Each structure stands twice: as structure tokens, then as C-alpha cells.
Structure 1
Amino acid sequence: MKSEFNFKIVYADGRVIDMYEDQNYWVSSCRVQPISFSRTLEKVDGRRGLIETSTMIESRKINTIIQIDGYDAADFDMTRDAIYALFNPVDEFYIVRDLQPGKRYKVKVSNLTGIEYDDGSLEDGEFEVEFEMFQPFAESIGTSLQLQNAKEWDVGLWQWAQGIDGDTTYQYEFNTNNFIVNNFGNVLIDPRENELEITIKATASSFLEIKNITTGDIYRFNGSLTSGDTLILKGIQTFKNGVSAFGKTNTKLLSLAVGDNIFTVSGGTLISAAFNFRPLYY
């Protein structure tokens, strides 16, 4: 039986390593720490208190303690080498905890302790691994389009306490010039930092403008569009039919606030718009 703190390592290429099922490690502790931050404060003569001028969100730590058992001293020694290889400081991967299987944490190893042997044993011991998240928010394993297209909202991608209402039908593909995109996470999605892809098909004679009324963001593509064209906004980039078209934009981006985002399209007629993203969580 697994520890309740068990977790999986998931690599970008799809490889999955379960600490218990694949490695026979017992995770006795896995603590997700709060996000670290720094503030810049200023004093003003004659004014009581301080003025906050900025708050910078920094990294986040995950601390784990793992126990291992060997058949004998030689097996334990080889297990130690495997641990050093698995938890090396170079590889970047995701941690998915059994306690919340709908969220993942992108990490690198920031510290690995030596293995402490149990008293009187050369076959049993434990070690500690500290992971660091440079992008400190947990992200949904499933994407918005997967949620829209799933027959059930919890088809192995989602969990409770993820901001999803099981009685709501979620839509992330639209074919009118006015629509609402729901970000059911609890963190704003900024395409400069987070995964957000918007695929647009529209007709326009000279420009197409998309406004998120909720955030005030206005994106404008300066150029004509026909029904055969596809415009993709991916991160900070814009592609028209697969070719970079950032130079034809107003260089602005569309972000998604927490909750409902009200969009309007002007300058042309929207044929379809698809929003694909992973909600983020503190």
C-alpha cells in the first residue's frame, strides 16, 4: 500500500516514475511550501507607516522525506546510485502528488541529502529531497479544451477543489463576436509567463481587434483575413498560417483574469476562436 504522500515524476516526453510502484520508495513526507516573495517599501517624511511600491513573487519549495529498503548492503549501495541519478540537479520535470492528482508542479532538485542508514542496518535508510519551482504556481494537468470536450469533467484529469463546477458545461470554442472565457483557476494567466494558445479564424478587410473587457487588454491584428486563414496567438507570438506575423500586431497580449473574462471582437466577423490553457493555482 502506498504512502498518502506518494508522488509521481512526470517528464516532458511523457515518461512517468511512481515513487512506490516503480521505485519501491516510501514517501513519508511531502510538504508544498508557500510561495516566497519580496516587497519594496518606501518611507515618506511626515507620513505614518510605509508605502508598498511593489511585490515580487519568487520561487516555491517542496520538501520531501523518502525511505528506502534494500535486500542487502550491495543492493542498498546500488539503490543509492540510482537515487543520485534520478534526483539530479539538471533535469526539470513535474511532480504529481497522489493527494491532488489534478495538479502538477514544475520543479528542479535544489538539494539532495546523503542517505542516512537506520540504526544497526546497512539495508534501510532515508534521504531528503528539496525541489524548487521557479514558476511557483501549480498548474492543471488537463487543459481548457480537454475539459470542454470531455464527457465527464473528472475523467482522470480533474479533481475536487480545482474550481470546476460539476453541473456546469464549460465552453472554450466560440463562433460569435461576443463571448465569455472562464478561467476557473485562482491565478491570472499571463501569456508572457504561462501557457495560453488562442486559435482564431475570421474574415476582416483591414484589421481584427479582440478586447478582453474584464482585463482591459486589447489585441489588434493589422491586415486582412479570409475564411481560409488561421491566426494563432501562442505566448507572446502571433502566427498567420504558420508564419510569424507579430510585426502586424499592436504588440499587445491577451491575459485571462480569474473567473469570467468578457470578450468582444471588432473589425471583422469571427468564424471561430478556441482558447486552450492550463488554469493555475496558489
Structure 2
Amino acid sequence: MIHVFSTRKDKPHAYGVHKPSDPSPYDNELPYEPIEFAISKDGKSWVSDFDVPDLDGVYCYDAPAVVPATQTDNLTKIGIHDGQQLISSTYEQREMTMSCHVSGMDEADAQLAFDALQRFLVSREGYWIAFSNWPQRMYFVKAKLASPAWTGNDWTVAVTLTDLIGLSRSIGTTLDHVQGFGNNEPFTAGYSFSNNSFTINNLSDVLIDPERRGHPFKMTLSGSGNNTIVANKSTGDSITRKGAWSGKFELDGVNPYLNGNHDGVNTDHGIITLQIGDNQFEVSNFNGSIQFDFPMWWLS
């Protein structure tokens, strides 16, 4: 299981309602509900801002809202046809904004806190970021901090996050059985099969396309077969593993492997894509189990 956010029990939180007998002062309480955020290089190992000692007292009070998707269309004029023909369409990078605040420090500590936030978020390389108020999705970003706005020893700062992919991605894949609200969820356990006819549900907002879009996708057949064909009847895609084989045949993106060794020479170089929604699969000349491992992608 992927753990994104802090497991500490004394997380900062907004003022609550207390009985007169409760101890005072109330540690880790704020006049607003802080939004936890976490970052990861690989989408699997995460570091939360609540677990970084240098960020004590630095809180996100405004996370990115639902972000519009930005499309770029490639068009061409054909003869004297009216209008233009759509050749291709891609989602482009977009900008999101989060806002952070530090309070209750002297000026020197507040300066150090800003420096710590910058060191946590600013990187030459892109990375994944997730927010606790929408915890099922992550964005691949680079960050840029504005100059802090000071009020006494307090400061606020706007952080611009450039979403380099232009889509959000599920935290985890179909094999992690990630569940959540508001992402066409929950995932079901329906991504491993031992029969030869089944349905794969792509809960994304886009076609899963490992060849043209570079989407992570892994299909693993464990067993044996002879001239095995895996066909997505909904899209017309298929791949054939020619001849007899046994062990583990894997299609990782567009690259086929047999028992860990490159096996493209023994295939028809087919690919598999997944349309939005249901995909009807049929597997021929195979005995064993088949498993699908891929993340979901969403517009927001």
C-alpha cells in the first residue's frame, strides 16, 4: 500500500470546541484548517510537509482548485473542404496556485521557514505532488515561489505549480486498488483474470495509449500457450505471441518480454490500448492468469 501523507497523530488542525477541563494551550491548532501536501520523485515514496521539521509552522491554507484542462489541436486544410481537419490533439501544461502561511515566529525564524519551504518545493526536475483535500490524485509539477508578503513576523506566499503533463494521475495503479471520491472511483478488484473472456474498465477521462501518449501500462500473462492472442475487441487492438511458450509473458508499454527477456521477435509487434469505459477482451490459446496494471488519468 502506498502511504502518501503523514501518519503522525498530532497533525496541525483548526481550532476546535473544547471543554473547560481540556488542557491549554492547545498545541498544533490554527485559525484555519491546514492542507497537508506531499511530494514524491517516483509516485511511490512520499514526503509530507508535516514530517519535515524545518517546515514546522509553515502551512498551506489554500490548495489548487479544480484546474481546467488545456488542449492544443493540430489542424490542416484539405482541398476546398469547409473548415479544417483535426489531425491530433494534446493536453498542454497548465498552472496551479497554492498559498502558504507562517505565523508565530520571530523574523529570523520566519526567514528560515521561507527558505525551508523553497528548498522543499523548488527543484530542477519535475516531481509529483498531492494534497490532502483531494488525496486520490497527483500532479507532475515544477514549483516557483513568489516573494513573501510580510505582516510583522508573519508572511504569506503564492506558489505557482506548473503541471507539466496537463492531466492528473491516480496515486497508485489498478493493482493497488486505490479508492477515492470524485475520480470515477472506486477501483474494483477486476484487473486480474483466469478466464479467457473478460471486461477491463478504464475509469480515466482519456484513452490509455502506451504507444502514442506514453501512458504506463503493463499486461502480464502467467501460464502457457501456443500462438496466444490477446485482443481488445472494443478497440480492435491485439498482440500475438507466436509459437509455444511457458512462464511469464509481459507487455510493458509496447515492449514484450518472456520470463524477463526481450521477446519482440516472437510477436507480431501488436499493442494494446484501452478506450474510456468498458473494454471487452478475449484471450485465445492460453492457460493461466492475466493481470493488468495501469494508473488512471483525469482532466482535473
TM-score over 0.5 (shorter chain)? yes
Task: Map 1:185-264 onto structure 2 (within 5 A).
Answer: 185-192=204-211, 193-205=214-226, 207-226=227-246, 229-264=247-282
Is 1:269 matched with 2:286?
A: yes
Unaligned runs of 5+ in 1: 148-156
Q: CA deviation at 1:272?
A: 0.6
- Aligned-partner Cα distance in 2 for 1:162–1:136: 16
User: Which SS does the other structure have where 1:188 is aligned?
Assistant: coil
Q: Which position in structure 2 is the counterpart of 1:62?
A: 96
Q: CA deviation at 1:44?
A: 6.0
91 and 40 in structure 1: CA distance in 2 versus 1, 3 angstrom threshold? closer
User: Which SS does the other structure have where 1:260 is aligned?
Assistant: strand
Q: CA deviation at 1:5?
A: 7.0
Q: CA deviation at 1:49?
A: 4.1
Number of residue pairs aligned between Structure 1 and Structure 2: 263
Tell me which of 114, 128, 135 is aligned to 2:158.
Answer: 128
Instruction: Flag as ranges the 4+ runs of structure 1 deviating above 6 A.
Output: none
Q: Which amino acid aligns with 2:236?
A: G
89 and 241 in structure 1: CA distance in 2 versus 1, 3 angstrom threshold? same
Q: Which amino acid aligns with 1:84?
A: Q
Q: Which position in structure 1 is the counterpart of 2:173?
A: 143
User: Which SS does the other structure have where 1:238 is aligned?
Assistant: strand
- Aligned-partner Cα distance in 2 for 1:176–1:183: 19
* Deviations 1:111-155 (CA, angstroms, capped at 9, x unpaired): 22122212xx1x2111121112222221222422232xxxxxxxx
Superposition CA RMSD, Å: 2.6
220 and 60 in structure 1: CA distance in 2 versus 1, 3 angstrom threshold? farther
Q: Which position in structure 1 is the counterpart of 2:25?
A: none
Q: What is the TM-score normalised by the length of structure 1?
A: 0.82
165 and 27 in structure 1: CA distance in 2 versus 1, 3 angstrom threshold? closer
Q: CA deviation at 1:262?
A: 0.6
User: Which SS does the other structure have where 2:286 is aligned?
Assistant: strand
173 and 69 in structure 1: CA distance in 2 versus 1, 3 angstrom threshold? same
Query: Is the CA contact 1:19–1:27 (under 8 Å) kept in the aligned structure 2?
Result: no
* Deviations 1:171-208 (CA, angstroms, capped at 9, x unpaired): 21111221111112322212242222111024323x22
Q: CA deviation at 1:75?
A: 0.6
- Aligned-partner Cα distance in 2 for 1:136–1:188: 15
- Aligned-partner Cα distance in 2 for 1:260–1:44: 34
- Aligned-partner Cα distance in 2 for 1:238–1:4: 48
- Aligned-partner Cα distance in 1 for 2:235–2:33: 40
Q: Which amino acid aligns with 1:14?
A: S
Q: Which position in structure 1 is the counterpart of 2:200?
A: 181
Query: Is the CA contact 1:33–1:63 (under 8 Å) kept in the aligned structure 2?
Result: no
Q: Which position in structure 2 is the counterpart of 1:86?
A: 120
Q: CA deviation at 1:30?
A: 2.4
- Aligned-partner Cα distance in 2 for 1:246–1:44: 38
80 and 39 in structure 1: CA distance in 2 versus 1, 3 angstrom threshold? same
- Aligned-partner Cα distance in 2 for 1:271–1:202: 4
Query: Is the CA contact 1:187–1:280 (under 8 Å) kept in the aligned structure 2?
Result: yes
Q: Which amino acid aligns with 1:201?
A: S
Q: CA deviation at 1:54?
A: 3.0
Query: Is the CA contact 1:94–1:106 (under 8 Å) kept in the aligned structure 2?
Result: yes
247 and 18 in structure 1: CA distance in 2 versus 1, 3 angstrom threshold? same
Is 1:112 matched with 2:169?
A: no
- Aligned-partner Cα distance in 1 for 2:169–2:158: 24
Query: Is the CA contact 2:251–2:257 (under 8 Å) kept in the aligned structure 1?
Result: yes
- Aligned-partner Cα distance in 2 for 1:56–1:146: 28
- Aligned-partner Cα distance in 2 for 1:248–1:63: 49
Query: Is the CA contact 1:34–1:61 (under 8 Å) kept in the aligned structure 2?
Result: no
Q: CA deviation at 1:278?
A: 1.6
